[in-house]
Protein backbone atom coordinates (compact mmCIF):
# COMPACT_ATOMS: atom_id res chain seq x y z
CA UNK A 1 0.00 0.00 0.00
CA UNK A 2 1.26 3.46 -0.85
CA UNK A 3 -0.54 5.27 1.97
CA UNK A 4 0.23 5.19 5.67
CA UNK A 5 -2.21 3.85 8.26
CA UNK A 6 -5.66 5.40 7.98
CA UNK A 7 -8.52 4.80 10.42
CA UNK A 8 -12.08 5.87 9.54
CA UNK A 9 -14.80 5.91 12.21
CA UNK A 10 -18.51 6.33 11.50
CA UNK A 11 -20.66 7.90 14.23
CA UNK A 12 -24.32 8.84 14.36
CA UNK A 13 -24.31 12.18 16.22
CA UNK A 14 -21.96 14.83 17.56
CA UNK A 15 -20.74 13.52 20.97
CA UNK A 16 -20.76 9.83 19.91
CA UNK A 17 -17.17 10.22 18.72
CA UNK A 18 -16.23 11.27 22.27
CA UNK A 19 -18.01 8.45 24.08
CA UNK A 20 -17.02 5.58 21.78
CA UNK A 21 -13.40 4.86 20.87
CA UNK A 22 -12.01 8.36 21.50
CA UNK A 23 -9.00 7.00 23.38
CA UNK A 24 -8.19 4.55 20.58
CA UNK A 25 -8.25 7.32 18.00
CA UNK A 26 -6.09 9.59 20.16
CA UNK A 27 -3.51 6.83 20.58
CA UNK A 28 -3.32 5.99 16.87
CA UNK A 29 -3.19 9.66 15.90
CA UNK A 30 -0.22 10.11 18.26
CA UNK A 31 1.47 7.15 16.57
CA UNK A 32 1.13 8.77 13.15
CA UNK A 33 -2.07 7.30 11.76
CA UNK A 34 -4.42 9.59 9.85
CA UNK A 35 -7.78 9.51 11.60
CA UNK A 36 -11.04 10.32 9.81
CA UNK A 37 -14.42 10.97 11.42
CA UNK A 38 -17.74 10.67 9.61
CA UNK A 39 -20.70 12.09 11.54
CA UNK A 40 -24.00 11.05 10.01
CA UNK A 41 -26.31 13.70 11.52
CA UNK A 42 -26.20 17.18 13.00
CA UNK A 43 -27.70 16.20 16.35
CA UNK A 44 -30.61 18.62 16.01
CA UNK A 45 -32.89 16.51 18.24
CA UNK A 46 -30.46 16.12 21.13
CA UNK A 47 -31.68 17.03 24.61
CA UNK A 48 -29.69 19.64 26.49
CA UNK A 49 -28.41 17.57 29.40
CA UNK A 50 -26.24 20.22 31.03
CA UNK A 51 -28.48 22.60 33.04
CA UNK A 52 -25.96 25.42 32.63
CA UNK A 53 -26.44 25.27 28.84
CA UNK A 54 -30.23 25.04 28.81
CA UNK A 55 -30.74 28.63 27.67
CA UNK A 56 -33.00 30.16 24.99
CA UNK A 57 -30.02 31.38 22.98
CA UNK A 58 -28.62 27.84 22.94
CA UNK A 59 -31.89 26.06 22.19
CA UNK A 60 -32.56 28.44 19.33
CA UNK A 61 -29.39 27.47 17.47
CA UNK A 62 -28.71 23.98 18.77
CA UNK A 63 -27.54 22.58 15.43
CA UNK A 64 -24.87 25.28 15.13
CA UNK A 65 -23.78 24.83 18.74
CA UNK A 66 -23.46 21.08 18.32
CA UNK A 67 -21.37 21.57 15.18
CA UNK A 68 -19.03 23.83 17.16
CA UNK A 69 -18.84 21.27 19.96
CA UNK A 70 -18.05 18.52 17.45
CA UNK A 71 -15.22 20.55 15.93
CA UNK A 72 -13.68 21.14 19.36
CA UNK A 73 -14.00 17.50 20.43
CA UNK A 74 -12.48 16.29 17.16
CA UNK A 75 -9.46 18.53 17.75
CA UNK A 76 -9.08 17.20 21.28
CA UNK A 77 -9.23 13.58 20.13
CA UNK A 78 -6.93 14.03 17.16
CA UNK A 79 -9.15 13.52 14.15
CA UNK A 80 -7.37 14.84 11.06
CA UNK A 81 -10.53 15.14 8.97
CA UNK A 82 -14.22 15.45 9.82
CA UNK A 83 -16.96 14.76 7.28
CA UNK A 84 -20.67 15.34 7.79
CA UNK A 85 -22.82 12.82 5.94
CA UNK A 86 -25.51 15.50 5.75
CA UNK A 87 -28.61 14.05 7.40
CA UNK A 88 -30.90 15.35 10.11
CA UNK A 89 -31.05 13.77 13.57
CA UNK A 90 -33.92 11.26 13.70
CA UNK A 91 -34.61 11.62 17.41
CA UNK A 92 -35.24 8.85 19.91
CA UNK A 93 -37.26 5.72 18.98
CA UNK A 94 -40.91 6.57 18.40
CA UNK A 95 -40.37 10.33 18.32
CA UNK A 96 -42.14 12.41 15.63
CA UNK A 97 -38.68 13.34 14.31
CA UNK A 98 -38.35 9.74 13.09
CA UNK A 99 -40.66 10.70 10.23
CA UNK A 100 -38.89 13.88 9.16
CA UNK A 101 -38.15 13.51 5.42
CA UNK A 102 -34.56 14.71 5.86
CA UNK A 103 -33.69 12.53 8.86
CA UNK A 104 -31.12 9.76 8.68
CA UNK A 105 -33.64 7.04 9.49
CA UNK A 106 -35.66 7.98 6.40
CA UNK A 107 -32.66 8.24 4.07
CA UNK A 108 -32.65 5.71 1.23
CA UNK A 109 -29.97 3.13 2.01
CA UNK A 110 -28.37 3.44 -1.43
CA UNK A 111 -28.19 7.23 -1.18
CA UNK A 112 -26.57 7.24 2.26
CA UNK A 113 -24.24 4.39 1.30
CA UNK A 114 -23.12 6.26 -1.79
CA UNK A 115 -22.26 9.33 0.26
CA UNK A 116 -20.15 7.25 2.64
CA UNK A 117 -18.51 5.30 -0.19
CA UNK A 118 -17.31 8.59 -1.69
CA UNK A 119 -15.65 9.49 1.64
CA UNK A 120 -14.07 6.04 1.98
CA UNK A 121 -12.66 6.21 -1.54
CA UNK A 122 -11.26 9.70 -1.06
CA UNK A 123 -9.62 9.00 2.32
CA UNK A 124 -8.54 5.37 1.61
CA UNK A 125 -8.68 3.81 5.09
CA UNK A 126 -7.37 0.34 5.74
CA UNK A 127 -9.54 0.09 8.88
CA UNK A 128 -13.14 1.17 9.45
CA UNK A 129 -15.03 1.27 12.76
CA UNK A 130 -18.83 1.31 12.84
CA UNK A 131 -21.59 0.46 15.29
CA UNK A 132 -22.51 -3.16 16.07
CA UNK A 133 -25.38 -5.09 14.57
CA UNK A 134 -26.77 -5.99 18.00
CA UNK A 135 -28.10 -2.80 19.57
CA UNK A 136 -31.24 -3.89 21.43
CA UNK A 137 -30.15 -2.19 24.67
CA UNK A 138 -30.13 1.20 22.88
CA UNK A 139 -32.01 0.95 19.58
CA UNK A 140 -31.62 4.55 18.47
CA UNK A 141 -32.77 4.85 14.82
CA UNK A 142 -29.61 6.72 13.82
CA UNK A 143 -27.32 4.19 15.49
CA UNK A 144 -29.09 1.36 13.70
CA UNK A 145 -28.85 3.21 10.40
CA UNK A 146 -25.18 4.01 10.98
CA UNK A 147 -24.49 0.29 11.25
CA UNK A 148 -26.41 -0.51 8.07
CA UNK A 149 -24.77 2.25 6.05
CA UNK A 150 -21.29 1.58 7.43
CA UNK A 151 -21.44 -2.12 6.63
CA UNK A 152 -22.85 -1.47 3.16
CA UNK A 153 -20.18 1.13 2.38
CA UNK A 154 -17.38 -1.18 3.51
CA UNK A 155 -18.60 -3.82 1.09
CA UNK A 156 -19.28 -1.42 -1.80
CA UNK A 157 -16.21 0.83 -1.65
CA UNK A 158 -13.96 -1.66 -3.41
CA UNK A 159 -16.50 -2.69 -6.06
CA UNK A 160 -15.82 -0.84 -9.35
CA UNK A 161 -19.42 -1.42 -10.43
CA UNK A 162 -20.89 0.14 -7.27
CA UNK A 163 -21.36 3.91 -7.20
CA UNK A 164 -19.04 4.62 -10.17
CA UNK A 165 -19.45 8.38 -9.69
CA UNK A 166 -18.11 8.15 -6.10
CA UNK A 167 -14.45 7.90 -7.09
CA UNK A 168 -11.83 5.26 -7.74
CA UNK A 169 -12.58 2.00 -5.88
CA UNK A 170 -10.81 1.42 -2.58
CA UNK A 171 -11.28 -1.67 -0.42
CA UNK A 172 -10.73 -1.29 3.35
CA UNK A 173 -9.33 -4.49 4.80
CA UNK A 174 -10.80 -4.61 8.29
CA UNK A 175 -14.21 -3.63 9.69
CA UNK A 176 -14.73 -3.38 13.43
CA UNK A 177 -17.76 -2.84 15.63
CA UNK A 178 -17.18 -0.65 18.67
CA UNK A 179 -18.48 -2.24 21.89
CA UNK A 180 -19.39 -1.48 25.49
CA UNK A 181 -18.99 -5.00 26.95
CA UNK A 182 -21.25 -6.12 29.77
CA UNK A 183 -18.21 -7.15 31.79
CA UNK A 184 -16.99 -3.55 31.83
CA UNK A 185 -20.40 -2.24 32.88
CA UNK A 186 -20.65 -4.80 35.69
CA UNK A 187 -17.19 -3.87 36.98
CA UNK A 188 -18.13 -0.20 36.91
CA UNK A 189 -21.29 -0.80 38.91
CA UNK A 190 -19.36 -2.88 41.44
CA UNK A 191 -16.90 -0.02 42.00
CA UNK A 192 -19.75 2.41 42.60
CA UNK A 193 -21.10 0.01 45.21
CA UNK A 194 -17.69 -0.48 46.88
CA UNK A 195 -17.29 3.28 47.24
CA UNK A 196 -20.81 3.75 48.57
CA UNK A 197 -21.88 5.71 45.50
CA UNK A 198 -25.23 5.45 43.77
CA UNK A 199 -24.98 3.90 40.33
CA UNK A 200 -26.60 6.28 37.81
CA UNK A 201 -28.73 3.62 36.09
CA UNK A 202 -31.87 2.09 37.54
CA UNK A 203 -31.70 -1.63 38.39
CA UNK A 204 -34.25 -2.27 35.63
CA UNK A 205 -32.19 -0.52 32.96
CA UNK A 206 -28.99 -2.19 34.10
CA UNK A 207 -30.66 -5.60 33.97
CA UNK A 208 -31.86 -4.83 30.43
CA UNK A 209 -28.29 -4.00 29.38
CA UNK A 210 -26.92 -7.21 30.89
CA UNK A 211 -29.58 -9.33 29.17
CA UNK A 212 -29.14 -7.80 25.72
CA UNK A 213 -27.24 -9.87 23.15
CA UNK A 214 -23.83 -8.55 22.16
CA UNK A 215 -21.07 -9.40 19.73
CA UNK A 216 -17.96 -11.17 21.00
CA UNK A 217 -14.97 -9.07 21.98
CA UNK A 218 -12.17 -10.00 19.58
CA UNK A 219 -9.87 -7.02 20.00
CA UNK A 220 -8.75 -5.05 23.04
CA UNK A 221 -6.72 -1.90 22.50
CA UNK A 222 -4.69 -0.77 25.51
CA UNK A 223 -5.65 2.87 26.10
CA UNK A 224 -4.03 3.30 29.51
CA UNK A 225 -3.16 6.94 30.01
CA UNK A 226 -5.59 8.23 27.39
CA UNK A 227 -8.66 8.60 29.61
CA UNK A 228 -8.10 12.35 29.94
CA UNK A 229 -8.62 12.73 26.19
CA UNK A 230 -12.04 11.10 26.30
CA UNK A 231 -13.04 13.18 29.32
CA UNK A 232 -11.93 16.44 27.69
CA UNK A 233 -13.71 15.51 24.46
CA UNK A 234 -16.90 14.71 26.36
CA UNK A 235 -16.75 18.05 28.16
CA UNK A 236 -16.38 19.79 24.80
CA UNK A 237 -19.96 18.72 24.17
CA UNK A 238 -21.22 21.11 26.81
CA UNK A 239 -24.88 20.82 25.80
CA UNK A 240 -24.85 17.03 25.90
CA UNK A 241 -22.59 16.17 28.82
CA UNK A 242 -23.15 17.53 32.31
CA UNK A 243 -19.71 18.10 33.91
CA UNK A 244 -21.26 16.63 37.06
CA UNK A 245 -22.46 13.49 35.25
CA UNK A 246 -22.12 10.55 37.66
CA UNK A 247 -21.92 8.08 34.77
CA UNK A 248 -18.93 9.72 33.10
CA UNK A 249 -17.24 11.42 36.02
CA UNK A 250 -18.70 9.77 39.13
CA UNK A 251 -15.69 7.58 39.90
CA UNK A 252 -12.39 9.13 41.05
CA UNK A 253 -9.84 9.15 38.19
CA UNK A 254 -7.48 6.83 40.05
CA UNK A 255 -10.32 4.28 40.28
CA UNK A 256 -11.76 4.77 36.80
CA UNK A 257 -8.45 4.59 34.90
CA UNK A 258 -7.43 0.98 35.74
CA UNK A 259 -11.06 -0.15 35.54
CA UNK A 260 -11.46 1.20 32.02
CA UNK A 261 -8.01 0.77 30.49
CA UNK A 262 -8.96 -0.91 27.20
CA UNK A 263 -11.29 -0.15 24.31
CA UNK A 264 -13.05 -3.26 23.05
CA UNK A 265 -14.05 -4.13 19.49
CA UNK A 266 -15.53 -6.94 17.45
CA UNK A 267 -13.71 -7.80 14.21
CA UNK A 268 -16.67 -8.14 11.83
CA UNK A 269 -14.94 -8.40 8.44
CA UNK A 270 -11.29 -9.30 8.04
CA UNK A 271 -9.45 -9.42 4.72
CA UNK A 272 -6.00 -9.86 6.30
CA UNK A 273 -4.09 -12.76 7.78
CA UNK A 274 -4.60 -11.45 11.32
CA UNK A 275 -6.65 -13.65 13.64
CA UNK A 276 -8.26 -12.81 17.01
CA UNK A 277 -7.57 -12.25 19.77
CA UNK A 278 -5.91 -8.95 18.83
CA UNK A 279 -4.56 -5.93 20.64
CA UNK A 280 -4.25 -3.66 17.60
CA UNK A 281 -6.82 -2.55 14.99
CA UNK A 282 -3.97 -2.54 12.45
CA UNK A 283 -2.89 -6.09 13.29
CA UNK A 284 -2.04 -7.84 10.04
CA UNK A 285 -1.50 -4.51 8.31
CA UNK A 286 1.58 -3.04 9.95
CA UNK A 287 3.95 -4.50 7.40
CA UNK A 288 1.71 -3.28 4.56
CA UNK A 289 1.48 0.40 5.48
CA UNK A 290 4.16 3.01 5.87
CA UNK A 291 4.18 5.93 8.27
Instruction: State how far the Cα of 27 lies from the Cα of 253, in Å rounded to an integer.
Output: 19
pLDDT for residue 3:
66
Beta bridge partners of 270: 174
Work out the average pLDDT over 212-222. 97
Instruction: State how far the Cα of 179 lies from the Cα of 185, in Å rounded to an integer.
Output: 11
pLDDT for residue 286:
79
Contact criterion met (CB below 8 Å) for 39 and 88: no
pLDDT at residue 279 is higher than 60: yes
Q: Is residue 273 part of a domain?
A: yes
pTM for the model: 0.95
| Residues 96-117: tens digit of each pLDDT | 999 999 999 999 999 999 999 9
Query: Quick check: helix, strand or coil at residue 215?
Result: coil
In this prediction, residue 2 has a pLDDT band, given cuts at 50, 70 and 90, of: very low
Q: Is residue 210 part of a domain?
A: no
* Domain count along the chain: 1
Q: From the CB of residue 99, how many other CB atoms can be counted at a distance below 10 Å?
A: 11
Instruction: State how far the Cα of 245 lies from the Cα of 265, in Å rounded to an integer.
Output: 25
Beta bridge partners of 219: 265, 278
| Residues 177-204: tens digit of each pLDDT | 999 999 999 999 999 999 999 999 999 9
Instruction: Please state, for a pLDDT cut of 70, what percent of the chain lies above it.
Output: 98
Taking all residues of the chain, what is their mean pLDDT, rounded to a whole number? 95
Q: Is residue 188 part of a domain?
A: no
In this prediction, residue 124 has a pLDDT band, given cuts at 50, 70 and 90, of: very high
pLDDT for residue 240:
97
Q: Is residue 154 part of a domain?
A: yes
User: Domain range for residue 147?
Assistant: 6-180+216-288
Contact criterion met (CB below 8 Å) for 284 and 273: yes
| Residues 251-277: tens digit of each pLDDT | 998 999 988 999 999 999 999 999 999
Q: Is residue 185 part of a domain?
A: no
pLDDT for residue 1:
43
Instruction: State how far the Cα of 140 lies from the Cα of 44, in Å rounded to an integer.
Output: 14
Instruction: State how far the Cα of 187 lies from the Cα of 185, in Å rounded to an integer.
Output: 5
| Residues 50-74: tens digit of each pLDDT | 999 999 999 999 999 999 999 999 9
Instruction: State how far the Cα of 98 lies from the Cα of 141, in Å rounded to an integer.
Output: 8
Q: Is residue 206 part of a domain?
A: no
Taking phi first (over 0 means left), then psi (-120 to 50 degrees means alpha), and beta for anything else, what does residue 225 get? Answer: left
pLDDT for residue 173:
98
Q: Is residue 192 part of a domain?
A: no
CA angle 179, 182, 188 (to 5 degrees): 105
In this prediction, residue 28 has a pLDDT band, given cuts at 50, 70 and 90, of: very high
| Residues 138-178: tens digit of each pLDDT | 999 999 999 999 999 999 999 999 999 999 999 999 999 99
Q: Is residue 98 part of a domain?
A: yes
CATH number at residue 48: 3.40.50.10320
Instruction: Starting at the earlier edge strand, list the strands of the sheet with 219-222.
Output: 81-87, 34-41, 6-11, 127-130, 174-178, 262-270, 219-222
Amino acid sequence: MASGPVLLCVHAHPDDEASKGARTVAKYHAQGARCVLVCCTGGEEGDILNPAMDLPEIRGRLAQVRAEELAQAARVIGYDEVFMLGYRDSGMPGAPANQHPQCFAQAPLAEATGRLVAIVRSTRPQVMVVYPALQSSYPHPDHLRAHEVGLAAFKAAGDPEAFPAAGEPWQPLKLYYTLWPKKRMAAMREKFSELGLEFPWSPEHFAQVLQAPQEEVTTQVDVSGWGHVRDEALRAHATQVDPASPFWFGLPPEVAEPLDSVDEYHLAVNLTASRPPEDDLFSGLRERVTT
